[in-house]
Structures are given as structure tokens and as C-alpha cells.
Amino acid sequence: MPPRKPSSRRLEDAPAAAGASAAAKASRALAAAKPVRRARAPKPLEPALVDALFSRFQQAEPEPKGELEHVNPYTLLVAVVLSAQATDAGVNKATRPLFALVDTPQKMIDLGEDRLREAIKTIGLFRMKAKNVVALSRRLVDEFGGEVPRERAVLETLPGVGRKTANVVLNMAFGEPTIAVDTHLFRVSNRIPLAPGKTPLAVELGLEKIIPRRFMLHAHHWLILHGRYVCKARKPECWRCLVADLCRFEPKSTPGKPVRGADGA
Ligand code: SF4
């Protein structure tokens, strides 16, 4: 008897059958696997905890100060404009000799853009900043009698001045209870969380709603300094944080074990 040839039907079905079995296996494995759970974002602190948090900051540092050196509202405005994407220490180094000679908008106009550029050339984006500082000085002289206006909407019309700069000036020069959201404050507010938000404006408006009135004047300095020196972007120093027991950020870091995955957000 001649050997039996496999039928063409059998040959065609073989790969399909193998595929079906692999698919069935995969689907059984999927069904057995535990569902992947995404960590839920922690809830923002309740009012009593917000109160406790700012009470601690206040106790530790009753009169927090910004670190940009200035001699009057005008030089504060200039220093804040120069500080965009630069460190306060770097700005102070350049402005210390500058403000000893130039402390009014008229004197800045007299100095001129070229010499200002030379004076601040160690600061990032100095060309654009020199242009803005001279232009805003001209506006102050021409439209505001050489004074710094006390309204946010007006401040924001000056060259190089955005909402954050306006808020810093209103707070530090005029004692207004504003919240200037910089990168440090944005990170701290989202980590703890106090007023989580995707934009600086959302965080600012959220914080205005939850911070008790009596802490408002100093709140932004406490949070900025906390972010700059303790709750750092890549390595928050939770082990020496005075609000660690109130903060809901996890995992907390320990001295020998920086938090993995902490970023600059
Ligand atoms: S415990 Fe850690 S994450 Fe929370 S505020 Fe303090 S330093 Fe930041």
C-alpha cells in the first residue's frame, strides 16, 4: 500500500490551529493577571492641615524674605525682570554695582541700553532683558511720573513683565497678599498637594482660595524657599522636611535614598 499523503486540508489547518491555541493561552494569561492599578493622585490637604502647615512655616521663619537685592520698588522691578531663567545669586552679583549708581528709571534711560547690556552680561538673555529694562523705564517716566504702578493689570503691560513679576512686585514692594508662582512653588503645591494645577495660574488661583488670610502675605516666600532648599526638584529632602508628616507625596526620601522619578514638575 502506498504511504498516505497528509490531506491538503490538514496542512492548511495546522498553523491556524497553533495560532488559535496561542491566542487562547494569551487570553487565559490576561484573565489571570491582576489589573494594573495606577496610583491615584493624593487629595489636597484639608483646611485644618493647610493651617497647620503654614503655622509651622511661620514658626520656623516669621518674616521670610525674597533673595533678590534691591533698594526701592523700581530696582525690585528691574531685578525681577532680570531674574527670569536666572538665579537670584547671579542677578545680585550683577545688580549690586549697577543699583549703587542707577536706582531710578531716569538714571536707567541716561545709562542707555549699551552700557546696561555690558553691566548685566553675566545674566542669561541679557540682550533682550537690557532692551526691556530700558523700554519699561521709558514707560515709567513717560506715563507714571517715574513711579512703579501698584496695579497688576498695569504692571503687566510693561515690557518684560508678566503676571509672576507683577505679583512679586505687588507683594514685596507694596505689601499686597499676592502669590507669585515660580517653578519651586509650582512643584511644592503639586507635591504636597496644596492646590494642584497644571498651570501656574491654576495653582495661584487655587492657593488664593485655600490659604488662610493671615498667612497670605508670606505664603509665597515660605513655599518658594521650601522648594528651593528642601523640596528640591530631583532630590526632595523629606527626612529633614518640617511638614513631612502633613505632606502626601510618596515615596518620601531618606538621606541615603533619593526619591526615584522625582522630577522638576
Ligand atoms: S515631605 Fe518631601 S515631598 Fe513632601 S514637602 Fe517635604 S520635602 Fe517635599
Does residue 56's CB lie within 6 angstroms of at least one atom of ligand 1?
A: no
What are 156-209's pLDDT values in tens digits?
Answer: 999 999 999 999 999 999 999 999 999 999 999 999 999 999 999 999 999 999
Does residue 192's CB lie within 6 angstroms of at least one atom of ligand 1?
A: yes
Pick the more confident residue, 20 or 136. 136
Q: Tell me: do 167 and 84 sit in the same domain.
A: yes
Q: Does residue 219 sit within a domain? A: yes
Q: How far is the CA of 10 from the centre of ligand 1 (A)?
A: 66
Q: Tell me: do 105 and 158 sit in the same domain.
A: yes
Mean pLDDT, residues 86-97: 96
Closest ligand 1 atom number to CA of residue 244: 1
Q: Tell me: do 150 and 228 sit in the same domain.
A: no
Q: Tell me: do 155 and 187 sit in the same domain.
A: no
What's the total number of domains in the chain?
2
Q: Tell me: do 84 and 53 sit in the same domain.
A: no
Q: Tell me: do 172 and 221 sit in the same domain.
A: no
Query: Average per-residue pLDDT in the chain?
Result: 88
How does residue 5 score in pLDDT terms, banded at 50, 70 and 90? very low
Q: What percent of the chain is predicted at pLDDT more than 70?
A: 82
Pick the more confident residue, 27 or 109. 109
Residues facing residue 254 across a β-bridge: 257
Q: Tell me: do 131 and 188 sit in the same domain.
A: no
Ligand 1 atom 8, closest CA: 231
Q: Name the domain boundary from 176, 193, 217.
A: 176
> Could you tell me the CATH number of the domain that includes residue 98?
1.10.340.30
Distances (CA, A) of 126 to 13, 47, 86, 119, 233: 73, 43, 10, 9, 26
Which pTM does this prediction carry? 0.81
Q: Which residue has the cell 515690557?
A: 159
Give the residue numbers spanning the domain of 191.
41-65+181-265
Q: Tell me: do 76 and 153 sit in the same domain.
A: yes
Q: Does residue 23 sit within a domain? A: no
Does residue 241's CB lie within 6 angstroms of at least one atom of ligand 1?
A: yes
Q: Name the domain boundary from 176, 202, 229.
A: 176
Q: How far is the CA of 200 from the centre of ligand 1 (A)?
A: 19
Q: Tell me: do 164 and 115 sit in the same domain.
A: yes
What are 125-151's pLDDT values in tens digits?
Answer: 999 999 999 999 999 999 999 999 999
Q: Tell me: do 85 and 169 sit in the same domain.
A: yes
Provide the annotated active-site residues: 164, 182
